[in-house]
Amino acid sequence: MMLESIQTSLSLFQPEIVLCATVLAAILVDLIFRRRPVIVAGTVIAGLIVTAVLVGAEVGVRARIFSGMYVLDPFAHFFKFVILGSALLIVLFSLASKELKTAPKRLGEYYMLLASMTLGMVLMTGASNLLMMYLALELTSISSYIVTGFTREARDSSEASLKYVIYGAVSSGLMLYGFSILFGLTGTLGIYELNQSLLSMPSINWTALLIAGVLALAGFGYKISAVPFHFWTPDVYQGAPVTITAFLSVASKAGGFAMLMRFLKVTFIDLASSTQLASGIWAMMQGINWPLLLAVVSVATMVVGNFVAIWQDNLKRLLAYSSIAHAGYMLMGLVVMSNQGFAAVLIYFVAYLFMNLGAFYVVMLVANETGSESIEEYRGLGYRTPLVGVSMAIFLFSLTGIPPTFGFIGKLYLFAALVNQQWIWLAIVGVLNSVVSLYYYMRIVRNMFLKEVDGRKPLVPISIPVPSAVLLIFLVIPTLGLFLYFGPLVDVAQAAVSMFGF
């Protein structure tokens, strides 16, 4: 009987198995075709595409497999597409990166580690057992520690890697401690069983539960770089290769958010007294004021991210703080504890995928030519290389949330969800923070278009190979296009959230 359940589970686990096989194939291909990393990259791309197709074939399936370790539902599928999509884009970015070419010997391993990071993130989206969550998180983290220090000849890269390891070890330790308290309270690790156990208990030790919840939040908060667990973010984002920074800022965050949302929604929802469940608003268990706790974290994250970003002159570091701020915006969607809020986060993630990856891609293209990420390099870029300048401006407008871009739609849904649930003050804080972010995003635009170009120096255009230009345009199109035609995506996101669980 056990054997049968394993066999049915395996048949539903095909995408992840293919991704696993991709990692192994990448190792072997790298060993066989040495010093030809392009072949490894090709293997990884093929593996990612096959995985995405298999996930596509699973859409609509809802099941809980491997004795409750892993869940398949539309929510997980949505995030899997975001993660696989960004992984695919990152592999394409990496092929164009000059920074990575400094270590051609290890480049094959780089692609292999990208695939294993992706595997960890995909597992994060569906994990429904605390141990599975922890394992998925560690798989992602350990791979990312290594790729962060990939250009180990660069000093700040090694520094970033070490800081990341130490910080990651501490926060995953805290998270494990929180999990162990949860296990001690309830005697179970499955999140659905945790929920039932907590509800059926005659009396709960609320202090212990609060401590466990906050400690677990530390682990999730580290992954999504929420304040006060954000200290690693700027250094790691600055030190890591640009491609990895982009990947961490989008896919890793998506995995962390997926896991946090599932954990909160499944574990702490009060099904018994929840009469409003049909309307998409959930009653949380008494005892821990999750909405307020998350609101405080969200405000702190937004404020710290935005206000520190103002002072940055290194674009990678600036975008690191901006990504902290975006984690704050997305946390607002969790505060309301309703389907509408969660759907808004999902929509925001799609917007964030295109605009943030786009912005990092421009940073990479400029750094390829100039070897620097300083804001000074962007002076007059709009005239030197209009394609890059205009694209960057679009991505930055989108990150701010100014109308003709998809970023606006993402923010609109977030704020709508907040206002619907009477979180007016939080919405106001969010809007004010967007205004602050306008300043530092526009500083770059000003440097690209409005700042006086030094007349003595000739205007040197940045040479962009055709494939890179095509990829750039490919990122610009959804950033603008989804502003006009976002209906289907919103429907998919809302369906994904309402059909949460198995």
Interface with another protein by CB under 8 A: which residues?
A: 3, 6-7, 24, 27-28, 31, 184, 187
Check: CB of residue 251 under 8 Å from CB of residue 273: no
Shortest approach of another protein to residue 20 CB, angstroms?
8
Which residue, 187 or 403, has its beta carbon nearer to another protein? 187
Do strands 63-65 and 70-72 pair parallel, antiparallel, or not at all (unpaired)?
A: antiparallel
- Residue among 31 and 450 whose Cβ is closer to another protein: 31
> Between residues 169 and 428, which has the closer beta carbon with respect to another protein?
169
Phi, psi torsion values for 282, nearest 5 degrees = -105, 145
Residue 357 CA from chain centroid, whole number: 11
| Min separation Cβ 300 and another protein, Å | 35
Q: Given the complex with another protein, which of 1 and 278 has the nearer CB atom?
A: 1
Minimum CB separation of residue 37 from another protein in Å reads 15
Least spacing, CB of residue 184 vs another protein, in Å: 6
Residue 28 or 473 having the CB closest to another protein? 28
Between CA 391 and CA 400 the distance in angstroms is 14
Spatial neighbors of 318 by CB under 8 A, at least 6 apart, are 309, 312, 375, 440, 444
By C-beta, is 105 or 457 nearer to another protein? 105
Task: Kindly state the smallest distance separating residue 185's Cβ from another protein, in Å.
Answer: 11
Torsion, CA 118, CA 488, CA 50, CA 7, rounded to 10: 80
With b for 16 or more beta-carbon neighbours within 10 A and e for fewer, the 105-121 pattern comes to ebbbbbbbbbbbbbbbb
Beta carbon nearer to another protein, 34 or 155: 34
Alpha-carbon distance of 5 to 268, in angstroms, equals 28
Q: Which amino acid is at 133?
A: M
Q: Which is nearer to another protein, 138 or 156 (CB)?
A: 138
Amino acid of residue 39? I
The least distance separating another protein from the CB of residue 267, rounded to whole angstroms, comes to 21
Minimum Å gap between C-beta 206 and another protein is: 19
- Residues 302 and 304: their CA atoms lie apart, in Å, by 6
Nearest distance from C-beta of residue 3 to another protein, angstroms:
6
Q: Other C-beta atoms within 10 Å of 97: how many?
A: 22
Dist CA 496 CA 491 (whole Å)? 8
Residue 190: φ, ψ to 5° = -70, 135
The per-residue DSSP string of 156-178 comes to HHHHHHHHHHHHHHHHHHHHHHH
Both tokens of residue 329? Answer: 């915006």
Instruction: Write down the least CB distance from residue 127 to another protein, Å.
Output: 21
Q: Which is nearer to another protein, 27 or 490 (CB)?
A: 27
CA dist 86 and 80 (Å) reads 10
